[in-house]
Amino acid sequence: PRLCQRPVSEGAPATQPRLKLEDIYIAVKTTGRFHRTRLATLLETWISRTKTHTFIFTDAEDEDLSSEGYNLVVTSCRSDHSQQALSCKMSAEYDGFMASNKRWFCHVDDDNYVNPEALLALLSTFSLEGDVYVGKPSLDKPISAHELLEGNATRKVQFWFATGGAGFCLNQRLAEKMSPWASGSHFERTSEKIRLPDDCTVGFIVEKRLGISMVHCPLFHSHLENLQLISQRSIPHQVTLSYGMLDDKMNSIKVKGSFSEEEDPSRFRTVHCLLYPLTSWCP
């Protein structure tokens, strides 16, 4: 597979305009019942540094958040975790990005910590001329699906996809090429053809409809992997982190610092104080 390059401190080749954080459209997928819990942790930590270009896709109005100046996008999607509800939100994220005219689209979930500097460093390694779909697969081999064809026939397709729970990014050039299968109601229709969730659908469009290979990158992380394996000294280089239950145990980053595990079960506040020690609420 195509692998991401280690970001170098010198930044992008001088031939292309320097990428800025504002060039990245960050879409966060959440739901009403997590506004005061999962989402609140993100607002307090990394979103406080990326607020203007972070867009929160949810299914419930929230006067408090809107009045505090967050970009809240209330979709008319169902609030369950069904394939249809997920694809509906991803479709709204894609359309929101396409209307923004930004250079990169990045999708994350409400249990992800995004390190904006590491994200910028990674995306700066790619040439503007290429088509880039970068993230981390949750499986060690391509997924197999049965694509529905005309007249009830199906065909087996195999492709890689970046797991939505670790976050992934697409550049504008590739996103534009995806439009026939991803814009408006097309995304949900494409998703129904392979009967797989939103993140799989993105991989299907990129790899099977467009013939472009995903870039595999180990710097993205979901709660489906053992997060204890990430060393504290490598944290500043990771693009996304996560937390959640895995095999009935709390799976989170092992990090020594400001807050106990009781005070900070996600470890996101501790990570944030490690990266930004001057934050007002850091001890």
Catalytic residue among 109, 110, 199, 264: 199
Q: Known catalytic residue: 199?
A: yes
Of 237, 58, 207, the C-alpha closest to 147 is 207
Distance CA 171, CA 127 (A): 10
Distance CA 85, CA 145 (A): 20
Contacts of 253 (CB under 8 A, 6+ apart): 227, 228, 230, 235, 241, 243, 267, 271
Phi–psi pair at 151, nearest 5 degrees = 60, 40
To the nearest 10 degrees (0 to 180), the angle between helices 83-100 and 172-182 is 130
Residues marked active site are found at 199
